[in-house]
Amino acid sequence: MVLASHKGKLGQCYVGEHSIDTQGLPPRYMTLKQLSYWEEAEVNQQIQALVDVGKMCKNALEYACRVTLPMSKDGSQRFCGDYSPLNIQTRRDSFPKPLIEDVLNQLRRSQWFQHLICS
């Protein structure tokens, strides 16, 4: 995951291994979005900037995403990838945290606690 606290400074998060379960489905092929000359120049410039700082590299994977350039509040264009086709075939593995009210209601009549970790 690439993180940025402000424009020009990129960081990275190394929390652990991450894999995406595509349920054995082959990569989804999609047509490229037609970009204007100026948009294509902006995309190439932003890709080169990411390559220069070591946050992007060429690979031989079959998965790819469309590039979009939404406008930022400051008027510049942000480099974003549209991963919606990959998201469609990805198996969901998120487990929501329980509501604190439900946990406290379950503990309401308890008298003895060994550990209560509220983080």
Q: Residue 119 and residue 106: Cα distance in Å, rounded? A: 17
Question: What's phi and psi for 7, nearest 5 deg?
Answer: -60, 130
Q: Residue 78 and residue 68: Cα distance in Å, rounded? A: 8
Q: Residue 79 and residue 71: Cα distance in Å, rounded? A: 9
- Over residues 23-65, the pLDDT tens digits come to 888 877 777 778 899 989 998 998 898 888 888 888 777 777 8
pTM assigned to the model: 0.57
Q: Residue 86 and residue 67: Cα distance in Å, rounded? A: 14
Among the listed residues 70, 103, 96, 85, the one whose alpha carbon sits nearest the alpha carbon of residue 25:
85
Q: Where are the domains of the chain?
A: 27-86
Q: Residue 27 and residue 65: Cα distance in Å, rounded? A: 11
Percentage of the chain lying above the pLDDT 90 cut:
4
